[in-house]
Amino acid sequence: MPARLTILGLETSCDETAAAVVELESDRLRVRSNVIGSQVDVHAPYGGVVPELASRAHLERLVPVIRRAIDDAGTALESLDAIAVGVRPGLIGSLLVGTSAAKSLAWSLGKPFLGVDHVAAHLVAARLDADPIPLPALGLVVSGGHTSLFLMRDALTLDPLLRTPDDAVGEAFDKGAAMLGLPYPGGPEVERLAADGRADAVAFAVPKLDFSFSGLKTALLYEVRGVPARASPNAPPAAAAGRRAVAPAVPFTEARRADLAASYQRALVKAVVRGVQHAWERIVDASSAAPRALVVGGGVAANLLLRQEMAHFALRRSIELRIAPLPYCLDNAAMIAGLGALRAARGERDPLDLAPQPRSALR
């Protein structure tokens, strides 16, 4: 591989069709173009992502998005040194579109092909157009599909420390938004509504150790709709049918909605912080090499409260906070190209029969 490496990255795992050109030189990743074709218009009427529509929209949008990424970077396909694509995790039909395009380009241009893990790429987002990260580091991915914490031994070696046993935090934001009558995508809507509410209005019970969010979702549902009527423990489930839920104690006014959004957001963020804190304590107790940085990526890393809490966490422990800049939090192809470039620089490449996978290989 040359001393300076230019790579095209493609991202089609869910509802963004994205392409980017990134350059790696002297261990620095420079973003030369970053194009994202959002599909919000396609899925918004359904209140969430419709997989079949997503893959069709990727098919229609990918080629123009690639053309723009190449033009914006002021380069040509022939000048690229490698092609990278997110091959897992994601919606399988959507992943197939990006993977097939990347393989065709790599084959026709005679360049190396790299299929990268989208979850690992979210942690590369924090070092795009920035200094390399001091290692070892804690790496936290907070997205629509993942809430996972890793020990980053080097840029590409991630040891899993903790992951949610149920829903991801982004999904908890999205489902909470739906309960509060907010449109898709829900995370930014909850954040917006929360700005008008009181975070201490409802004391949700926050899980301490394990990034679990399902209890918080149920608690929010009960605050909105009331607690369901309970049958006696021995009665068949049908016995509860027809009974009315106990109405919520507080009427569902505009002010109440904002209070619930603010309290729910605080509880979700607190649950993330507590999980990281728990893992931190275990690591620092067990090893002499304490992490030197906290790296945060994924769509929920765009949340201001989470950013503030993470900054606080890092400051108290005198470690560096490396949180992805806002444009690179949500799904993008620059992070895919960045991870691909780091692998290509090590001489790695993948075979053209590498298959996309719905799940991440990182546990």
Residue 9 contacts ligand KG4 per CB under 6 A: no
In this chain, which of 86, 98, 112, 170 binds ligand KG4, going by CB under 6 A? 170
Q: Is 173 in the site for ligand KG4 (CB under 6 A)?
A: yes
d(C-alpha 308, C-alpha 303), whole Å: 9
Q: What is the rounded CA–CA span in Å between residue 155 and residue 149?
A: 15
Quick one: what does residue 356 bind among ligand KG4, Zn ion, none, with the CB cut-off 5 to 8 Å set by partner type? none
Which CB atom, from 143 or from 147, has the smaller least distance to Zn ion? 143
Q: Find the radius of gyration of the CA atoms of the chain.
A: 22
187 binds ligand KG4 (CB under 6 A): yes
What separation in angstroms does the CA of 180 have from each of 183, 186, 220, 264?
Answer: 9, 10, 9, 11
By CB under 6 A, tell whether 300 contacts ligand KG4. Answer: yes
Query: Binding to Zn ion (CB under 5 A): which residues in 277-306?
Result: none
**Looking at beta carbons only, is 84 or 345 nearer to ligand KG4?**
84
Q: Judged by CB under 5 A, does residue 331 bind Zn ion?
A: yes
330 binds, among ligand KG4, Zn ion, none (CB under 5 to 8 A by kind): ligand KG4
> Of these, 112, 115, 275, 298, which contacts ligand KG4 (CB under 6 A)?
298
Do residues 44 and 184 make contact, with C-beta atoms less than 8 angstroms apart?
yes
**Residue 342: count of CB within 10 angstroms of its CB:** 26
144 lines the binding site for ligand KG4 (CB under 6 A): yes
Shortest distance (Å) from residue 217 CB to ligand KG4: 13
Site string for ligand KG4, 318-347 (x = CB under 6 A): ------------xx----------------
Min dist. Cβ of residue 192 to ligand KG4 (A)? 8
Kindly report the number of other CB atoms within 10 A of residue 314's CB atom.
Answer: 19
Q: CB-based contacts of 358: which residues, under 8 Å, 6+ apart?
A: 88, 89, 90, 91, 92, 95
Find the angle CA(146)-CA(330)-CA(40) to the nearest 5 degrees: 105
**Least distance (Å) from ligand KG4 to the CB of residue 293?**
20
Distance CA 245, CA 230 (A): 9
Angle at 327 between CA 220 and CA 199, to 5 degrees: 25
Tell me if 143 contacts Zn ion by CB under 5 A: yes
Burial class (CB in 10 A: 0-12, 13-18, 19+), 92: middle
Cβ neighbors of 326 (< 8 A, separation 6 or more) are: 302
- The position carrying tokens 């591989």 is 1
Q: What is the DSSP letter of 244?
A: P
Pick 6 or 332: Cβ nearer ligand KG4? 332
C-beta of 171: minimal distance to ligand KG4 in Å?
6
Contact characters 76-115, ligand KG4, x per CB under 6 A: ----------------------------------------
* Minimum separation from the CB atom of position 105 to ligand KG4 (A): 23
User: Per CB under 6 A, does 223 bind ligand KG4?
Assistant: no
Question: Contact positions toward ligand KG4, by CB under 6 A?
Answer: 14, 143-145, 170-171, 173-174, 185-188, 191, 298-300, 302-303, 330-331
